[in-house]
Amino acid sequence: MAATAFCIKQHAMVLGYASDTVAAAALQVLQPEPVYLNWRGETLAAAFVFAPVPEQPFGERLLDLLASLQQQLDGALNNQTVYLILPEYTEPDSNALNSLLQQLMRRFPEFIQSQSCRVFPHGSAGVLMALNAAQQHISTQGNEPVWLVAVDSMAQASVLDAYATGERSGVPSEGAIALCLTGCHRGVTLQFSASDAQPATTVQSAVAALFLQLTANLKTPLKQLYFPDSGDAQVTEQWLAQYQHLHGVVDSETSLIFPSYATGELGACGGLYRLWHVLHAYEQGRISGQTVQCELSARLFRAVAVFSPSQALLDNKDV
């Protein structure tokens, strides 16, 4: 049976560089102005929705970002099927994760009330894990919509210290994004997906395994490759050093796309921004053919997805 095509029914974004959905959608066209932060005597390029507060609990900041997102959605998430993508928690019974979910239910009791709601605490890789589950839900539940919601922030003292010392490069940011996906005749199909929620031994083995899965499951060259790269040289090296494993599925016409250079590092939220970028680009006809999105989180959770436009979407572009 052919995979059910899906599309974005509704979306909302709150990002460090863009406080509302319209501004976020324009980031790829209108490059954001640099913003600077003084952190422990160092001047950092940064983009935060709220000024960093060193003593603020991380969970509280995530809930503040979700509150800003909720204001744009005006209750649209209430009692819906929500797949929540969170920063990485290595253990499913993590005390920090349980505490965050309890705070979430107290502050937004209507947010994850549905029995079909799920949580993916795997950083940016959790986005593609959630997408795979959402596609299955849409296929089996009569095109019932699913909300993918991601939130994360780099406004943590340990993370900002790493940027201040030069251990990390790029622009630390934060955000919350919600995408409502539904079955759609003129949409995008998920041809293949794979993920691993077990931390890898090394980044080299993690990325190599991801790329080898792609080459084993693709028969034609890719048109686009989306990588989780937002300007950190160490992240670039992770995929660049293993790029050789994509031999046979990339050629001179394959485009490498890095939409997160325009947003700064968003962590788990960056994976959902890249997914939005893929689906939106298909809808607008800016990309065609097969597209791959690869996600590798800081703790080496990893996931990959292969997309292609439905035949109906292709026919519509030819009209």
Point out which residues pair with 82 in neighbouring strands.
147
What is this structure's pTM? Answer: 0.94
What is the torsional sign of CA 49, 111, 21, 122?
Answer: positive
267, 87 in Cβ contact below 8 A?
Answer: yes
* Strand bridging mode 188-196 / 146-153: unpaired
Nearest to 121 by CA among 14, 239, 267, 8: 267
> What was the pLDDT predicted at 319?
43
| 1: in domain | no
Given 165, 183, 201, which residue is the final one in a domain?
183
CA atoms within 13 A on the CB side of 61: 23
Whether 161 and 148 map to the same domain: the answer is: yes
82, 111 in Cβ contact below 8 A?
Answer: yes
> What was the pLDDT predicted at 312?
67
pLDDT in tens, 178-205: 999 999 988 999 999 988 877 677 888 8
3-class secondary structure per residue, the chain: CCCCCEEEEEEEEEECCECCHHHHHCCCCCCCCCCEEEECCEEEECECCCCCCCCCCHHHHHHHHHHHHHHHHCCCCCCCCEEEECCCCCCCCCHHHHHHHHHHHHHCCCCCCCCCCEEECCCCHHHHHHHHHHHHHHHHCCCCCEEEEEEEECCCHHHHHHHHCCCCCCCEEEEEEEEEEEECCCCEEEEEEEEECCCCCCHHHHHHHHHHHHHHHCCCCCCEEECCCCCCHHHHHHHHCCHHHHECCECCCCEEECHHHHCCECCHHHHHHHHHHHHHHHHHCCCCCCEEEEEECCCCCEEEEEEEECHHHHHHHHC
| 153: in domain | yes
pLDDT in tens, 285-306: 999 999 999 998 878 888 999 9
Banded pLDDT at 124 (limits 50, 70, 90): very high
Instruction: Copy the structure tokens of residue 291.
Output: 């597209």
Banded pLDDT at 1 (limits 50, 70, 90): very low
The CATH number linked to 230 is 3.40.47.10
Structural domain count of the chain: 2
Whether 196 and 300 map to the same domain: the answer is: yes
Tokens 């959402």 correspond to 134
Tokens 């959608």 correspond to 25
Compute CA distances 108 → 70, 113, 290, whole Å: 9, 9, 38
Whether 179 and 225 map to the same domain: the answer is: no
> What was the pLDDT predicted at 310?
86
Whether 113 and 169 map to the same domain: the answer is: yes
Given 183, 199, 227, which residue is the final one in a domain?
183
Whether 142 and 277 map to the same domain: the answer is: no
The percent of residues in the chain predicted with pLDDT above 90, rounded, is 65
Whether 60 and 144 map to the same domain: the answer is: yes
103 pLDDT more than 60: yes
Whether 175 and 279 map to the same domain: the answer is: no
Whether 167 and 20 map to the same domain: the answer is: yes
* Average pLDDT over the chain, rounded to an integer: 90
Whether 179 and 231 map to the same domain: the answer is: no
Given 183, 215, 244, which residue is the final one in a domain?
183
62 pLDDT more than 90: yes
Average pLDDT over residues 44-56: 93
Whether 60 and 78 map to the same domain: the answer is: yes
Average pLDDT over residues 134-145: 88
How many other CB atoms are found less than 10 A from the CB of residue 244? 9
Range of the domain at 174: 6-183
pLDDT in tens, 7-23: 999 999 999 999 899 99
Average pLDDT over residues 235-253: 90
Whether 91 and 199 map to the same domain: the answer is: no
194, 213 in Cβ contact below 8 A?
Answer: yes
| 29: in domain | yes
254 pLDDT more than 50: yes
Whether 116 and 84 map to the same domain: the answer is: yes
User: How far from chain centre, in Å, is Cα 103?
Assistant: 23
124, 270 in Cβ contact below 8 A?
Answer: yes
